[in-house]
A and B are shown apart, each in its own frame.
Chain A
Amino acid sequence: MRPILMKGHERPLTFLKYNRDGDLLFSCAKDHTPTVWFADNGERLGTYRGHNGAVWTCDVSRDSMRLLTGSADQTVKLWNVQTGTQLYTFNFGSPARSVEFAVGDKLAIITTDPFMELTSAIHVKRIAKDPTEQTEESVLVIKGPQGRINRAVWGPLNSTIISAGEDTVIRIWDSETGKLLRESDKESGHKKTITSLAKAADGSHFLTGSLDKSAKLWDTRTLTLIKTYGTERPVNAVTMSPLLDHVVLGGGQDASAVTTTDHRAGKFEAKFYDKILQEEIGGVKGHFGPINALAFNPDGKSFSSGGEDGYVRLHHFDPDYFNIKI
């Protein structure tokens, strides 16, 4: 089917997130204004105004009532999804790069970038049921990894935290004590910055994408490397189909490295791979610039991609897609 081109952002996209029901799509971009769209027809539903810097990330609560956004303005804001009002602002000394609600939505992970003399950090915050009782206080702060942490997510039952970033190592931390439990193997792991991390629907495994032109599939509990998917381009965004055994990788040459005028030169495609056989199935072209964000609708029947070109492209699959045999 023809993709729906969603024009609303004025700057490159940074992150995409569907709510649990799959009817809303939240998009973040460098233009300060997270936006919510109807995930079906791509109509713009509203914006969340208040950030004063590029918005790097967001997460929506399970009941689709609360939105958490992290921004380069060194704040993380909690919003009322329906009204677009700010409920609370967490202040940090450096840009917030990644946020995620825990199972039960009572906790959230926030990662902050290294900035000035501050090192990167993973903060665990308690999210109060009643926003008026919300406090700034962190339950836990983990420091240690060198360089930026591009993504940190909760492990099963909120008992662990998985982090990945510039130092190419994936780490599993104890979410109670902040102790380092596991580290990915240098040999088999990524060779360059890990840019993205996507969990499976049941959280049992996750996919990481890296600038080393590969994506890797890991077991969440044991951090065992299960699969590697090789591409020809740095990977900026990854996602997994909740319905079929497909993984999608997005990326492309850094815009500054693209010297020719032909957009094919950069390979700005969303590439589909068979999750089990690790073979490329196909690609979805369209963006004029690298793909920065990818998200699968929880029903597995559509996905959206956000590019450096400022567009979100919403793709509903043709019926043929569900009968691909390789």
Chain B
Amino acid sequence: MAAEVILMNEVESKAAQLGIDLSIDFNSIQLPPGENFDIVSDDEDVYHEDQLEFDSGFGNVIVVDNLPVVPREKFDKLEGVLKKIYSQIGVIKEDGLWMPTDPETKKSLGYCFIEFNTPQEAELAKEKTNGYKLDRSHIFVVNMFDDFDKYMRVPDEWAPPEVKPYTPGENLQKWLTDDKSRDQFVIRAGTDTEVLWNDARQSKKTELVYKRTYWTESFVQWSPLGTYLATVHRQGAAVWGGATTFNRLMRYAHPQVKLIDFSPAEKFLVTYNSHEPSNPRDANRVVINIFDVRTGKVMRDFKGSADEFSIGGAGGVAGVSWPVFRWGGGKADKYFAKLGKNMISVYETETFSLVDKKSLKVENVVDFTWSPTDPILALFVPELGGGNQPARVSLVQIPNKTELRQKNIFSVSDCKMYWQSDGDYLAVKADRYTKTKKNTYTGFELFRIKERDIPIEVLELDNKSDKIIAFAWEPKGHRFAVIHGDNPRPDISFYSMRTAHNTGRVSKLSTLKGKQANALFWSPGGRFIVLAGLKGFNGQLEFFNVDELETMAIAEHFMATDIVWDPTGRYVATAVTSVHEMENGFNIWSFNGKLLYRIPKDHFFQFLWRPRPPSFLSPEKEEEIAKNLKKYSKKYEAEDQDVSMLLSEQDREKRRMLKEEWEKWVSGWKRTHEEEKQDRQKLRDGEASDGEEEYEAKEVEVEELLDVSEQVLPFED
């Protein structure tokens, strides 16, 4: 800070010498924070290439207008002031400041060009100093040099926009109408990205839908309802979809995009990138765009230093916790919110501005989550003042920002919030210090959101000191599973938010002792769960039925890194991705743990099931189907049987062909072998034995004398 003060003094004195009004608002210049914590961004390579690309262009040049018109002798002073202002923002190239002069009056023309090292710096300079008040009559107007061209080309007369005739689009949901009701998934291995049908029920393998080499430059991602597949490129993101194959539907320009995120109803796409600043003391510069998925229009952009976007988060990629913007308000894409310092900024998508034009002020808030269904925020404020002010979890309704419920929790070290998928329950896992503050133990605060006054219940494990390894709500259900314990074989407990007699009490259903598991994967339909032992447990899998509280199958996918249920809950995919050098590929299992097929793939990066939109069936209708399941299943069983008959028929046929072909080879070999018999005998000096004829096996007994020793034993009477 001291350096800054001196800097200001200098500028002020220079300004005084120039006779310029001293009421310059230097505070309006936001200094980029001067640290990057020595973290070298991995996009440095890209960044350097980028720089080379632009060196020849004028992307790094800005034009500053509305400067004071000064005679020659005051040139240096004005230049000094400008340099002071702009070198705070970026590195000005050597001789990068040029102030043209009127050849007659020898005075400056009131504008200048400034060339920065990088286009990013130029962009930043434009943003920061446009409208900068040097004094009352000199307010800077800053433009990118490249933009001039664009402005010059604006036609003088307005031309009505061309109206394109309506062309009906493709049915982007066509895949849902598959007559075998199969699901699709995308895999990325090596340079290939493939979309495949999972045909486990019938052919026990996959069927290719679409394949493309170098489809994406880093990863692919389905939109939440499965309509689009997003790819990421140097120039931006793109979405793909279509009735039968995959066509590019829209592009979203965002150079060097790193991360993307869809809103839950897939109306909007958020893209993110961060630049390494040329001045290593500065923080990374972050650009976030929010696009309308269908039109490709930028609805709102956010720019700033990484510090502004990384509050509270533990730090995902390059310092920000992704997604920066969390979407809320259920499936309507109505709100999105960002955690800030002492506040939560909630935006609404009608106008893309802050709700009530201001952020929600919450002192020291460190985390928040949206209810998956309702516009309710759950936020967490940690303990302050050495325990004088307890930690707090509160539920806030949006848009009126009223607090629905609040709970103070004492001596908390850490807190995590888990919503049940229907927004019925919220579990808050609080790690608390024991009285001595030496150890921590974990308890749960369970909120019943849909009940009157939102009752809260405290749940502690049977063994309080158990560490919690994993927690997961049953989707659409009232149960949850917890892995707890310190020993290498932790226990797994299942709880229900209902008991047989009383719906308002949480109760334990069962505890499984000593399981090799560290992750929980509920079926999207609930009821079934995969208890998985990833990493240290080498891919142990236990398929468990929570209704019956019984194990359906125990299996292993050695080294498995990823486990994903298909959206219908019929199949489970387990994959070994390229974090391991070996074993790469994926297995498909039935919900009850039967291995259906395996596909090994080297350099396996991603496995993603194509999500399905929620069913249109009403709950009553669904119940009706469940009741009459027998009727339907008959039809499908018959279908399956037909297919399996056909397959085994084909299989038999194939085997018969192979056998026949082989027989042909063998008989040919036998013939030539016979023909060559004489020659072989000759080679062996007439020895007839060809090895094929019988020989007698004789049993020979060999006795070997190993050792003979004589010992005189005393004769005793």
Q: Which of B581-633 contact A (CB under 8 A)?
A: 581-583, 600
Residues of B contacting A257 in the complex (Cβ-Cβ under 8 angstroms): 581-582
The answer to whether B581 and A204 have CB atoms under 8 Å apart is no
Shortest Cβ distance from A64 into chain B, in angstroms?
13
Those of A29-81 within 8 Å (CB) of chain B: 62
Contact B655 A202 (CB under 8 A): no
User: B585 — nearest CB in chain A belongs to which residue?
Assistant: A232
Interface residue stretch chosen among B96-104, B178-186, B562-570, B678-686: B678-686
CA–CA, A157 and B684, complex, Å = 10
Chain B residue contacts of A205, Cβ below 8 A:
665, 669
Q: How far is the CA of A191 from the CA of B289 in the complex (A)?
A: 46
Q: Is the CB of B558 within 8 A of A202?
A: no
Q: Name A278's closest neighbour in chain B (CB-CB).
A: B658
Q: Is the CB of A201 within 8 A of B691?
A: yes
Is the CB–CB distance between A226 and B680 below 8 Å? no
A157, B673: Cβ atoms closer than 8 Å:
no
Assess whether A264 is interfacial by the CB under 8 Å rule: yes
Bound complex: CA of A258 vs CA of B684, how far in Å? 48
Report the separation of the CA atoms of residues A253 and B665 in the bound assembly, to the nearest whole angstrom.
34
User: Residue A204 contacts which of B659, B669, B680 (CB distance < 8 angstroms)?
Assistant: B669
What's the Cα separation between A257 and B582 when bound, in Å?
9
A259 at interface by CB-CB < 8 Å? yes
Contact B673 A204 (CB under 8 A): yes
Q: Is B676 an interface residue when CB atoms closer than 8 A count as contact?
A: yes
Q: Does B216 contact A (CB under 8 A)?
A: no
Taking a contact as CB atoms under 8 Å apart, the answer to whether B683 and A202 are in contact is no
The distance in angstroms between the C-alpha atoms of A277 and B559, with both chains bound, is: 29
Q: Does B665 contact A157, Cβ atoms closer than 8 Å?
A: no
Q: How many residues of B contact A (CB 8 A)?
A: 23
Q: Taking the complex as formed, is A104 at the interface, i.e. its CB lies under 8 A from any CB of chain B? A: yes
Which residue of chain B is the closest to A107 with respect to CB atoms? B683
Q: Does B436 contact A (CB under 8 A)?
A: no
Query: Is residue A20 contacting chain B, with contact meaning CB distance below 8 A?
Result: yes
Quick one: which of B559, B600, B659 contacts A276, CB cutoff 8 A? Answer: B659
- Which residues of B are found within 8 Å of A219, using beta-carbon distances? 665
> What sequence of 0s and 1s flags, for each residue 640-672 of chain B, a beta carbon within 8 Å of any chain A beta carbon?
000000000000000100110010010001001
What residue in chain A is nearest B655 (Cβ atoms)?
Answer: A277
Does A244 sit within 8 A of B, measured CB to CB? no
Please state if A202 and B673 are interface contacts (CB–CB under 8 Å). Answer: yes
Q: Which of A156, A232, A266 contacts B676 (CB 8 A)?
A: A156
> What's the nearest-Cβ distance from chain B to residue A269, in Å?
12
**Residue B538 CB within 8 A of the other chain:** yes
Answer whether residue A221 sits at the interface, using C-beta atoms and an 8 A cutoff. yes
A262 touches B665 (CB 8 A): no
Indicate whether A265 reaches chain B with its CB closer than 8 angstroms: yes
Q: Does B672 lie within 8 Å of A221, measured CB to CB?
A: yes
| Chain B hits for A103, CB < 8 A | 680, 683-684
Given A204-B672, A264-B558, A265-B582, A104 contacting B683 (CB threshold 8 A)? yes
Q: Smallest Cβ distance from A51 to chain B, in angstroms?
A: 28
Whether B538 pairs with A157 at a CB distance below 8 angstroms is no
State which residues 415-457 of B face A: CB under 8 Å.
none
A219 vs B666: C-alpha distance in the bound complex, in angstroms? 10
> Contact string, A198-228, partner B, CB cutoff 8 A, digits 1/0?
0001101100000000000001010000100
Is A158 part of the contact surface with B, judged by Cβ < 8 Å? Answer: yes
Chain B residue contacts of A267, Cβ below 8 A: 582
Q: Mark B684-708, 1 if CB is under 8 A from A, else 0.
A: 1100000110000000000000000
**How long is the Cα–Cα vector from A131 to B669 in the complex, in angstroms?**
36
Residue numbers in B under 8 Å from A265 (CB-CB): 558-559, 582-583
In the bound complex, what is the Cα–Cα distance between A260 and B685 (angstroms)? 56
**Contact yes or no, B676 A104, CB < 8 A:** no
Measured between beta carbons, the chain A residues less than 8 angstroms from B691 are: 20, 201
**Which residue of chain B lies nearest to A232 when distances are taken between CB atoms in the complex?**
B600
**Which one, B582, B669, B679, contacts A202 given CB within 8 A?**
B669
| A104 touching B665 in the complex, CB below 8 Å, given contacts A204-B673, A265-B559 | no
Q: Are B684 and A104 in contact (CB under 8 A)?
A: yes
**Nearest Cβ in chain A — how far from B21, in angstroms?**
69
Contact (Cβ within 8 A) A157 B655: no
Interface string of A141-159 (1 = CB under 8 A from B): 0000000000000001110
Contacts of B538 in A (CB 8 A): 262, 264
Contact A259-B581, Cβ < 8 Å, known A104-B683, A157-B676, A205-B665: yes
B-chain residues with CB within 8 Å of residue A157 when the two chains form the complex: 676, 679-680, 683
Complex: how many Å from CA A275 to CA B655? 12
Nearest Cβ on chain A to B536's Cβ, whole angstroms: 10
Within A219-272, which residues are at the interface with B (CB < 8 Å)?
A: 219, 221, 226, 232, 245, 253, 257-260, 262, 264-267
A92 to chain B, nearest CB (A): 26
A-B contact pairs, 25 of them (CB 8 A): A20-B691, A62-B684, A102-B683, A103-B683, A104-B683, A104-B685, A156-B676, A157-B679, A157-B680, A157-B683, A201-B691, A202-B673, A204-B669, A204-B672, A204-B673, A205-B669, A219-B665, A253-B582, A259-B581, A262-B538, A265-B559, A275-B662, A276-B658, A276-B659, A277-B658
Q: Apart from A156-B672, A264-B538, what are 7 other A-B pairs with CB-CB below 8 Å?
A: A20-B691, A103-B680, A103-B684, A106-B683, A219-B665, A221-B672, A258-B582
Q: Which 5 pairs from chain A and chain B are nearest by CB?
A: A204-B669, A104-B683, A276-B662, A104-B684, A103-B683
